[in-house]
Amino acid sequence: MADVIQVKYDDAEVTRLYGQILARARNPAPLLADWGERLKNSVRRNIMEGGRPAKFVPLKPASARAWLFSKKSYWTKGGNLTAAGQARAENRTPLFTGNPAGLLNSINWRALGHDALAVGSDKIYAAIQQFGGTVHLPDIYPQVKQALMWPGALHPVKMARAHDVTLPARPYLMIQDEDWLYLRQSALNYLLGEGAVK
């Protein structure tokens, strides 16, 4: 008579883990919230650093000057840049103006249904900054005073003629390589019940 070998395997842990993975996969909201915050901060960093990994197309000198001219606190009464103005002139990136109502602080995320999320901006000019394009500016006439005024212009200016402005693409909505690694690892951690995402 042949000997019978009997092997018993307790699969309770595998069954428990499989059940946990299925349950967590049905409720990805905590994972999506974690991803949304990660990607929002990464996009904001793209803007603050003037593009990552490649730098954005720089502002034309006239645009940079016009931006500085619009900030009265950056100029002395004698028409020279203050220390703060000089620092801003040297460190300004094309999309990061320091304006709290600007593109940087408009970057946010939201869930799209049960299993997706979107990261972006609600600013009307966000798309043209991302993709580039041409904008037609109509004639501008003074509304309150007799003439238009901006530093550096020959005055009085009765109107600004219509013209087109072409903006280069400055793709700030970029997911970086380190973000992809984080997304993959955090998904595994979430499904297995490990790590910070709960």
Instruction: Return the pLDDT at 121.
Output: 96
The proportion of the chain whose per-residue pLDDT surpasses 90, expressed as a percent, equals 39
Beta-carbon count within 10 A of 154 CB: 5
Query: pLDDT tens digit string along 58-97?
Result: 877 767 666 666 666 677 777 677 777 777 666 666 666 6
Residue 93's CB: how many other CB atoms inside 10 A? 19
pLDDT per residue over 105-143, tens digit each? 999 999 999 889 999 999 999 999 999 999 998 988 888
**pLDDT value at position 130?**
95
Residue 85's pLDDT is: 73
What would the pLDDT profile of 159-197 be if each residue is shown by its tens digit? 888 989 899 999 999 999 999 999 999 999 999 888 666
Domains in the chain: boundaries: 28-56+107-132+168-198, 57-92, 136-166
Of all residues in the chain, what percent carry a pLDDT higher than 70? 80
Residue 84, Cβ density class (10 Å: 0-12 exposed, 13-18 middle, ≥19 buried):
exposed
- Global pTM? 0.76
- 92 phi and psi, to 5 degrees? -70, 135
